[in-house]
Structure 1
Amino acid sequence: MINLHHLRLFRAVARDGTLTGAARSLNLSQSALSAQIKTLEASLGNDLFERRGRGLVLTEAGRIALDHAEAIFRTADDLTATLKHTGAARRALRVGSLATLSRNFQIGFLEPLIGRPDVEVVLRSGSQGELLRALEALSLDIVLTNLVPARDASSRYLIHNLSEQPVSLVGLPNPDLQAKGVADLLADEPLILPTPETALRASFDGLVESLGLVLKIAAEADDMAMLRLLARTGAGLAVIPPIVVRDELASGMLVEYARLDRISEGFFAVTLQRRFPNPLVAELLSAFSGAQK
């Protein structure tokens, strides 16, 4: 059985990052604290720390142990409230999402876990580089993105192709536009476009070049939420996946005027090859895959 005293000492070392600092705060000798940590590692059958310079960094097993330790002590601090409910331990799923990714898609992907009393979903957003570094540091369990990260033979990334969404021209209701084809809409109407560095814009520019059109660009944005808001203000027709404006299309606030053939937006989940994967990741991927069939 795990000694909770050892677990508390382990948490202190994990938070401080050094044996010296943790021993000082715990009023223990460094050698005594080191011996207690080694006893805990032996009982768990895994090294919990690896030394880097003068500090200690959690191993993958150590990070998992810390997650469970935090859950154990949270439960101990709030035992009465826990017993009034189900008494079940809450598990955490740490999700990173590209800051420009569709919020509707994110919610749709996470929906099977949202609101479950035994699950805490922690959401973080950022750039692709920031999220992948956090994934490699094991501070995230999964990254949602529309950009496929580069991989090589030594890469530990696992790429899960979640969905391929169509892209359309979407804007405020206007009866005069209903009869127009794609080429006329692109040539005549002001457009709200993704910024040039996005994958979606690259595909769109290829379509425009093949049609030989000159565009009237009203606005550009790298954020799907901003493209959605610009379309709602009537700045022009947005080049956007309909899933991003699903609610506005359903209410009639916005209208899908034309589907852009040969253009789609890919949505991906990136995980890491891990010895101890978070079981909620597999559960979520399975639920989403089943919902798509």
Structure 2
Amino acid sequence: MLNYRQLHYFWVVAKTGSIVRACEQLNLTPQTISGQISQLESTLGIDLFQRVGRQLELTEAGRQALPYAEQMFQLGSELENVLRSQSGEQQLLFRIGVADVVPKSIVYRLLAPTMVIDQPIRISCREDKLERLLADLAIQRLDLVISDSPMPPHLDIKGLSQKLGECGISFFATDDVAQRVGTPFPQCLHGAPLLIPGQDTVVRGRLMRWFAELRIQPRIIGEFDDSALMKAFGKSGSGIFVAPSVIADEVQSQYGVQIIGQTEAVTESFYAITVERKVRHPGIVAIAESARNQLFTAGV
């Protein structure tokens, strides 16, 4: 059976990159840490580290072991936090996964209502690729996943995709770029410099189909999975960029840009994905109700 203390020493050394830094974190001597790791290696019959010059590097077996150790001690930390919270005010842990293509402003607006409900909630947010988040949702390491698409049909995961809302998109540009492209919209987009969402986003395909239908060919100069990075390039005057119309006012004030056009022919949708058919978590209920009654006005 694994000695979890020895495994913890292995994990800390692997994460910090050296025994010296691990000693500082664990407040132990190098002899203690190296001795315990050697015992772990002896028990397993494999080497977890190897010396490369003066550096300590993971072996192939060590690289395979690291993500398992990472999960184990992350779960242990979560368990400790949950149990400690029982001694004081009863806080309900709300574990949320956010698909990395969802704009952060939308995420904040969706989650904000959970901060003001009667029952105290402590939220834990993690951003990642959708399929990895859904894998954690399936084993109940997450309570909710927020995405721009429903549960993919090819995944063998039983879940419920609740549409929170949808909205059209707006096109933004600095004053200089807007003057150069002129009017009318959307014809002014033909040949104009455009920053677009990356391949993993649902809105990307809808946007390109809309351009094809109108026979408009913008000059695509950048593709971004991270919407905040796309806006930063847009703010610098690199080109026109898009964002959900529901946050248009915020985008204009935050990035110092203007709207050059809007369309409802291309929409962005947002979903709450859970594994429960009957949603009971008060945080999820608050998100759904706020999205339906305040954030989005149609399409829920």
Q: Using structure 2 for the length normalisation, give the TM-score.
A: 0.64
| 1:184 paired residue number | 187
Distance (whole Å) between structure 2 residues aligned to residue 95 and residue 226 of structure 1 = 22
Structure 2 counterpart SS, 1:113: helix
| 2:91 paired residue number | 90
Structure 1 counterpart SS, 2:190: helix
* Count of residue correspondences: 221
The one-character-per-residue Cα deviations of 1:182-212 (angstroms, maximum 9, x if unpaired) are 2432114211112244321211111111222
Deviation of 1:68 after TM superposition, in Å, equals: 8.8
Conserved? CA contact 2:101–2:200, under 8 Å: no
Change (3 A) 1:119 1:256: same
Conserved? CA contact 1:171–1:232, under 8 Å: yes
Change (3 A) 1:251 1:121: closer
Structure 2 counterpart SS, 1:133: helix
Change (3 A) 1:98 1:197: closer
| 2:125 paired residue number | 123
| 2:105 paired residue number | 104
Conserved? CA contact 2:93–2:124, under 8 Å: yes
| 1:30 paired residue number | none
Distance (whole Å) between structure 1 residues aligned to residue 155 and residue 107 of structure 2 = 30
Change (3 A) 1:96 1:259: same
Change (3 A) 1:188 1:70: closer
Deviation of 1:111 after TM superposition, in Å, equals: 0.7
Q: Which amino acid aligns with 1:138?
A: Q
Conserved? CA contact 2:170–2:248, under 8 Å: no
Q: Which amino acid aligns with 1:125?
A: E
1:98-247 paired onto structure 2 within 5 Å = 98-114=99-115, 118-151=120-153, 155-174=157-176, 176=179, 180-243=183-246, 246-247=249-250
Distance (whole Å) between structure 2 residues aligned to residue 262 and residue 204 of structure 1 = 9
The one-character-per-residue Cα deviations of 1:60-109 (angstroms, maximum 9, x if unpaired) are xxx9xx98985444444xxxxx4xxxxx3111111100112111111101
**Greater mean deviation of Cα atoms: 136-145 or 220-229:** 220-229
Structure 1 counterpart SS, 2:90: coil
Identity of matched residues, %: 17
Change (3 A) 1:214 1:70: closer
Q: Which amino acid aligns with 1:190?
A: P
Distance (whole Å) between structure 2 residues aligned to residue 191 and residue 284 of structure 1 = 33
Conserved? CA contact 1:228–1:245, under 8 Å: no
Conserved? CA contact 1:71–1:89, under 8 Å: no
Q: Using structure 1 for the length normalisation, give the TM-score.
A: 0.65
Q: Which amino acid aligns with 2:234?
A: A
Q: Which runs of 5+ in 2 are unaligned?
A: 9-74
Q: Which amino acid aligns with 1:285?
A: A
1:280 maps to 2:248: no
Change (3 A) 1:153 1:244: closer
Q: Which amino acid aligns with 1:89?
A: Q
Q: Which amino acid aligns with 2:258?
A: V
The one-character-per-residue Cα deviations of 1:145-194 (angstroms, maximum 9, x if unpaired) are 00222248975211111111211211112463686022432114211112
Deviation of 1:242 after TM superposition, in Å, equals: 3.4
